[in-house]
């Protein structure tokens, strides 16, 4: 495939260099451009946000407020922090999460670790070199018999034997690749969805899950301050009462 692509693009470039000799038929073949994973993830996130995510973020905010009210939290205390959290740059977080998960899944499938790494390397090495080696060996065997065996006669089956052996090697390697290195899109997509859901769940829990706890801690801190203020006020009142009582006793005895 690599040699075919090189010949294809080389022929296309040669045709562009000498347009007056070779007529142009059809559109020129352009090499495939490399996909920018970051730009792709940001474009997908922007499209998803415009269609669904923004509306779902608002619905999530209302649902969280309703759930908090049902759990006994004062609604006016949760509304401000929850709406502030909903106004964060979630599109950037979605894009970054998609880029991280795509890179991680690509790393796991394209460059695995452990035993799978050596197994994949062995299969890829065989797939790269075995068909060509089989073809060259079969051609060498036919030529050897043709030049060094006096009574040997070339038959049609002997001429078809090298490509048939190469095709058989390709079929066997294809079966090995399908059994040993199953690259199924459904499995890749499921793994991507699970990892992305886990990351976004962690992001949402870290952002929204701390709001009730923060509000509760603020209320407890305010309650402790009020209790301390009441305690201090009670002590001052007791001290003033004791001083007034002492002054009254002194007045009765004329001191």
Give the model confidence (pLDDT) of 81-107 as tens digits: 888 888 877 777 887 888 888 888 877
| 72 backbone φψ class: left, alpha, beta (φ>0; ψ -120 to 50) | left
Torsion angles phi and psi, residue 82, rounded to 5: -70, -45
Place of tokens 């018999």: 145
CA distances for 21 relative to 16, 17, 24, 129, 159, angstroms: 10, 10, 9, 39, 37
Residue 8's pLDDT is: 63
Q: What is the mean pLDDT of the chain?
A: 78
CA pseudo-torsion sign 168, 171, 173, 179: negative
Its pTM surpasses 0.75: no
Question: Nearest CA to 58 among 94, 95, 85?
Answer: 85
pLDDT recorded at residue 93: 81
pLDDT below 50 — which residues of the chain?
Answer: 20-22, 24, 29
**What tokens appear for 61 in the block?**
């905010």
pLDDT at residue 137, as a whole number: 92
Residue 40 tokens read as 């792709």
DSSP assignment string, 147-179: HH-TT----HHHHHHHHHHHHHHHHHHHHHHHH
Per DSSP, 228 falls in state H
Specify the pLDDT at position 3: 66
**d(C-alpha 147, C-alpha 143), whole Å:** 6
Helices vs. strands in the chain: H and E counts, helices first? 9, 0
User: Which is nearest to 178 in space by CA: 166, 190, 189, 170?
Assistant: 170
Measured in degrees and rounded to the nearest 5, phi and psi for residue 114 equal 80, -150
Q: Encode pLDDT of 5-47 as tens digits.
A: 666 666 555 555 555 444 545 555 455 556 666 677 777 777 7
- Which CA distances in Å does 63 have to 70, 90, 208? 11, 18, 12
Reduce the secondary structure of 22-61 to three states and give it as a string.
CCCCCCCCCCCCCCCHHHHHHHHHHHHHHHHHHHHHHHHH
3 state DSSP class of 253 = coil
């Amino acid at each position: 495939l690599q040699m075919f692509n090189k010949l294809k693009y080389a022929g296309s470039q040669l045709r562009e260099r000498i347009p007056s000799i070779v007529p142009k038929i059809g559109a020129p073949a352009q090499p495939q451009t490399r996909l920018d994973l970051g730009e792709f993830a940001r474009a997908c996130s922007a499209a998803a946000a415009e269609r669904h995510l923004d509306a779902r973020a608002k619905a999530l905010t209302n649902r969280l407020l309703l759930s908090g009210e049902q759990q006994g939290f004062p609604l006016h205390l949760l509304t401000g922090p929850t709406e502030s959290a909903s106004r964060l740059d979630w599109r950037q977080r979605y894009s970054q999460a998609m880029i991280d998960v795509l890179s991680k899944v690509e790393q796991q499938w394209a460059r695995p670790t452990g035993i799978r790494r050596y197994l994949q390397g062995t299969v890829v090495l065989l797939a790269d070199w075995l068909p060509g080696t089989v073809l060259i060996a079969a051609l060498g065997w036919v030529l050897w018999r043709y030049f060094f065996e006096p009574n040997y006669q070339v038959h049609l089956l002997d001429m078809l034997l090298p490509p048939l052996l190469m095709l058989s090697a390709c079929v066997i390697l294809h079966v090995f690749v399908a059994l040993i290195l199953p690259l199924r899109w459904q499995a890749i997509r499921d793994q991507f969805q699970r990892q992305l859901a886990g990351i976004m769940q962690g992001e949402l829990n870290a952002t929204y899950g701390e709001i009730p706890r923060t509000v509760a801690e603020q209320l407890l801190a305010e309650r402790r301050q009020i209790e301390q203020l009441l305690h201090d006020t009670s002590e001052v009142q007791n001290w003033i009462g004791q001083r007034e009582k002492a002054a009254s006793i002194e007045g009765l005895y004329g001191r």
